[in-house]
Structure 1
């Protein structure tokens, strides 16, 4: 059985974020799995996607850069930003499976009709998050979109502050909105999501890990 290669494409220009998400993605693999995940960082765009113009720019970059990445011989590709920028257009261009972390994370959170909440740090992307829930067929079970308190750049720059802010918003989603699962809405939030998961009484879906699982399923399906 040949080794499967999956590209994790970070649509923002922050290579540290790419490496963090790559580490989490690799930890999601079983020890005996014959899968290699490699990170790739967008060559241009924004270091952090916090609004609609940045999301649109990221979509364009993904459409242009994604085929170059795929041409390196990958068996699948993950778009590792929660807005899934450029996902549909890239999927139409490529013959390999293309998976978005929002697509995968929302699907896991809403599995079986479970009531879920999206918790994120980007207030200007609230409408796009609502749109994604509907696009993927899970709008009916979405009970809330919770945005962390505080200025987004400051929250994101301090890992401890980010984890605390996410924890507070997750608790609000559970206690006030009745969420039975939480999906953390952001690739750069992956490490904080892991840090707070054990402190909550409901499943906390890490979208990067969910995307690895879905991408592997799709790889298996295409070779079956």
Structure 2
């Protein structure tokens, strides 16, 4: 099968990191394609950038000329997933929901380590909407911005471990979820330091995508995620108009 992994921001180096963990997690015979939007914010740290990213991701999906069987959206709780479910026939997996679902198979409660404190309410809202917040012990922030995660890997690992330790010791979390696509690949170091399961959302989403494909399952189209009704949408897709204007 072929899985498209979509980094919701435009930072190519982060796409490369996400691609690496996706490829390492994929089964033999699974091909990973990884990309990012053609326009939009370089990182997502708030509602404004999140909604811009959602539009940019949906725009990018209209330009992909290679068929794929499933989409993994590699932003932790990003908006736009439901739109992708409407326009695509294959399953669409969000790494926040996949990480939480996987974590709940491994312990009574889970905690999420994320970037800035302003991301905490957004992640909580996403988990609440998905019906996954009840078993979340807490969402805690490292204080590192999304782009800062790549600046000094040693500092990032220490910050994630320190934050995760508080989730375990103070909030009684039994499993840790890495709450940002930019943290992809850190799960082994964090788990070794703390002695608890650590779930990388990209890896979890890849495995869920493979399971859906092997079971012949996809998004229900009978109601909530039926395809968009035919109508005129001005200047859409936006990337085509931007290209023609140059």
Query: Do 1:9 and 1:80's aligned partners in 2 also have CA atoms closer than 8 Å?
Result: yes
Match of 1:27 in 2: 24
Matched, 1:39 2:31: no
Match of 1:95 in 2: 89
Residue of 35, 42, 46 corresponding to 1:51: 46
**Inter-partner Cα distance in structure 1 for 2:15 and 2:35:** 7
TM score, norm. by length of structure 2: 0.82
Within a 5 Å distance, the mapping from 1:147-166 to structure 2 comes to: 147-149=141-143, 154=148, 156-166=150-160
Matched, 1:117 2:111: yes
1:28-66 Cα distance to aligned partner (Å, 9 max, x none): 123xx2110111111111111111211111111122222
**How far apart are residue 155 of structure 1 and its match?**
5.2
Secondary structure at 1:68 match in 2 = coil
Kindly report the root-mean-square deviation, in angstroms, between the aligned alpha carbons of the 2 structures.
1.9
Match of 1:15 in 2: 12
TM score, norm. by length of structure 1: 0.90
Runs of 4+ in 1 over 6 A off after TM superposition: none
**How far apart are residue 75 of structure 1 and its match?**
0.9
Query: In the superposition, relative to structure 1, how do residues 88 and 175 fare at CA in structure 2: closer, same or farther (>3 Å)?
Result: same
The structure having more radius of gyration, on CA atoms, is 2
Matched, 1:218 2:212: yes
Secondary structure at 2:38 match in 1 = coil
Query: In the superposition, relative to structure 1, how do residues 195 and 55 fare at CA in structure 2: closer, same or farther (>3 Å)?
Result: same
Query: In the superposition, relative to structure 1, how do residues 176 and 223 fare at CA in structure 2: closer, same or farther (>3 Å)?
Result: closer
Query: Do 2:181 and 2:201's aligned partners in 1 also have CA atoms closer than 8 Å?
Result: yes
Paired residues, number: 218
**Inter-partner Cα distance in structure 1 for 2:148 and 2:78:** 24
Task: Identify, as 1 or 2, the structure richer in helix.
Answer: 1
Query: Do 1:155 and 1:165's aligned partners in 2 also have CA atoms closer than 8 Å?
Result: no
Query: In the superposition, relative to structure 1, how do residues 43 and 168 fare at CA in structure 2: closer, same or farther (>3 Å)?
Result: same
**Inter-partner Cα distance in structure 1 for 2:216 and 2:62:** 19
Give structure 1 stretches of 5+ with no counterpart: none
Query: Do 1:11 and 1:41's aligned partners in 2 also have CA atoms closer than 8 Å?
Result: yes
Query: Do 1:11 and 1:81's aligned partners in 2 also have CA atoms closer than 8 Å?
Result: yes
Query: Do 2:8 and 2:36's aligned partners in 1 also have CA atoms closer than 8 Å?
Result: yes
**Inter-partner Cα distance in structure 2 for 1:36 and 1:53:** 33
Give structure 2 stretches of 5+ with no counterpart: 219-246
Matched, 1:81 2:78: no
